[in-house]
Structure 1
């Protein structure tokens, strides 16, 4: 009840804030005297009320958004991020990623892209407007090109509602340009144009899944010289983007060998007003896919057991995993559903990708 997301914590925070406001209001006439001491007392009293109101509002929002899920998680802002163990289910990750599944998936003609905009001097990102022949969709792709020859591609899926550029900066991917990503082109396609929550699937608004998993890879392979083989392609995302990364790999194992989902769920969660799939998910129910037709891919799923939005569906996927699918559970019990909890995990996530599919990160 008095955990960082507990109702008791929220009620106590509001009681303190309202009580302080009432006390200051009642005492204000007695504080309204000339002199520096009286002025300082009034300033401190107002600051105290303001801080308590902010804390109460923050506790309320945190209870709904699960940004911090425990007091240890809140303390990680100062003490550093909590860690968790990795355990694989189904096939071994390396075996799943190395499985032979036939020709590389995106065999259509390469999509047509506009010339890149000027490279952003702060992030190194190039922006392209990309029209896909397979999907008919025109969207924006941001690309970060490594300083050394390209050997692989990492397709990064942003959260919602967040821009691809923000995802690149928020995760600190540019910090790994001379290390884990020195031979990897990073692709950041915009899967929520005009803030439409497509959840990366095909629908009446656009054939987004086709654009993401066929047109973007086909174009990138030709443009940046990424090898046209699935062991050169991996995916990574957080929150809704984590769902997109896992879904793309599991539904398109001919294109991707492995994926990392940071705080992602395993069934699409559309924003109100857009529901392109049937209630059964139209084949996008990942635990069901794992049980009925497990694909030969390696998926790393990070989540907090206290994240009630994500944990139940992820644990269902873990329980359903069987060869040739590999699902590695990465449970960090004291981490919340926020970028600040995921950014410190990026080095370990990239190391896992490089271990599972050598040379991809």
Structure 2
């Protein structure tokens, strides 16, 4: 059973309860001062504490998905790196494996769609990154064989793992459900983390002398995906969505590159690049680069293109409400801004799961197929 399995969590809670009951029941019998009784009391207390700690840890991980697997928890990498041939037809993409989509009929791509794990190489940035691509059922149906689908880049927070977008935030499942009832059009999802130069948090900026992360997301990714899959190449075919750091990146890329992305969604986003030990020196003392990475400054000082932006926050539980309201007030035509403001909701997966269906519906309405 996997680390994020509900069965594992249920067993951990059951074990903790049983050990607690056993401790209460056996304590009178172990009240003597004999070595056996003392070791018995210590053993019961230790086992109960470990079980409680495990149950709480598993519950927290189930909610926030800090770790996606046992291998991830214990720091063991099971998959080998892939060599991406950058001269093979200019495609710069390797499919590593295919998975069934986590929806009914998952074994049949024409019913459930398909998830492909890929390694994508950036011809301009020089960055290689793994990702998951969700192809909707329509992609495999004969009547859509000539159709070019819209695509959405989906980003985790920092550090994040891409599996969380599938297992924890349920993007493929939600997209499948919404398209099935006609609330969204079928879309290709490209799911990955913004940490494309791990372990460094590059904040989706082009670092002087370092990783060109903005170039990777703004130019390389849509270009390579469009050459490999039936996805349109114009900005109206591309959107980007993310949470936390991924939300900042989504807004930044959409705001600065309206010629590549028609829409960007920031779930619980912040609006200025972080600078801390995880980022290192992002700007090498260059004030112009630091200003550009501040979205408030960008809105005040740079031309606003035809970007459609969606931001989210909550009146209780989120720390970005005031900055989100400031961001909204600064957006000017031809750009457009919408918002989702919950009454309450923290900076966590439970909140984002409440926002994602509406966000995908909004995003679908601003993209088009051909």
- Tell me which interval the TM-score lies in, with the shorter structure as reference length: 0.5 to 0.7
Question: 1:267–1:313: 8 Å Cα contact kept in structure 2?
Answer: no
- TM-superposed deviation, 1:214: 0.3
Q: 1:201 to 1:111 in 2, by over 3 A?
A: farther
Q: How far off its partner does 1:254 sit?
A: 0.4
Following the alignment from structure 1 to structure 2, what is the Cα–Cα distance between the partners of residues 254 and 114? 23
Deviates more, 1:133-142 or 1:172-181: 172-181
1:195 corresponds to which residue? 199
Match 1:238 to one of 225, 233, 243? 243
- Find the counterpart in structure 1 of residue 186 from structure 2: 183
Deviation, structure 1 residue 297: 0.7
**Is residue 125 of structure 2 the alignment partner of residue 135 of structure 1?**
yes
Which residue pairs with 1:113 in the alignment? 92
Match of 1:288 among 292, 297, 300: 297
Question: Using the alignment, how far apart are the partners of 2:321 and 2:90 within structure 1?
Answer: 37
State the shift of 1:342 in Å.
0.6
Match for residue 275 of structure 1?
A: 281
Specify the alignment match of 2:7 in structure 1: none
Which piece of structure 1 moves more, 248-257 or 288-297? 288-297
Kept after mapping to 2: 8 A contact 1:157/1:189: yes
Find the counterpart in structure 2 of residue 302 from structure 1: 312
1:264 corresponds to which residue? 269
Unaligned runs of 5+ in 2: 1-22, 33-40, 65-87, 103-113, 139-143
Partner secondary structure for residue 226 of structure 2? helix
Structure 1 residues 358 and 194: CA distance shift in structure 2, 3 A: closer
Partner SS state of residue 94, structure 2: coil
- For 1:1-361, list aligned pairs within 5 A: 32=31, 112-121=91-100, 124-148=114-138, 149=144, 150-175=148-173, 176-177=175-176, 179-180=178-179, 183-192=186-195, 193-203=197-207, 204-273=209-278, 274-277=280-283, 278=285, 280=287, 281-293=290-302, 294-307=304-317, 309-355=319-365, 357=366, 359=368
- How far did 1:305 drift? 3.5
Partner of 2:211, secondary structure, is coil
Q: For 1:329-360, what per-residue CA distance to the aligned partner results, in whole angstroms no more than 9, with x for missing partners?
A: 321131100011111221111121233x1547
Distance in 2 (CA, whole Å) between partners of 1:236 and 1:283 is 20
Q: CA deviation at 1:121?
A: 3.4
TM-score by length of 1: 0.66
Q: Which moved more, 1:181-190 or 1:338-347?
A: 181-190
C-alpha spacing 1:170/1:110, structure 2 compared with 1 (3 Å): farther
**Which of structures 1 and 2 has the larger relative contact order (alpha carbons within 8 angstroms, sep 6+)?**
1
Q: Is the 8 A contact 1:264 1:310 kept in 2?
A: yes
Shift of 1:262: 0.6
1 CA distance for matches of 2:168 and 2:336? 28
In the alignment, is the contact (CA less than 8 A) between 2:310 and 2:337 conserved in 1?
yes
In structure 2, the residue matched to 1:79 is none
Residue 122 of structure 1 deviates from its aligned partner by: 5.6
Aligned pair in 2 of structure 1 residues 270, 144: CA closer, same or farther (>3 Å)?
Answer: farther
TM-score, structure 2 length as denominator? 0.65
Q: 2: CA distance between counterparts of 1:353 and 1:127?
A: 23
> What value does the CA root-mean-square deviation take over the aligned residues?
3.7
Q: Is the 8 A contact 1:152 1:226 kept in 2?
A: yes
Cα distance in 2, alignment partners of residues 270 and 306 from structure 1: 26
| Residue in structure 1 matched with residue 17 of structure 2 by the alignment | none
Deviation by residue 1:208-266 (Cα, 9 ceiling, x = unmatched): 11011101100111111211211111111111111111111001000111111110111
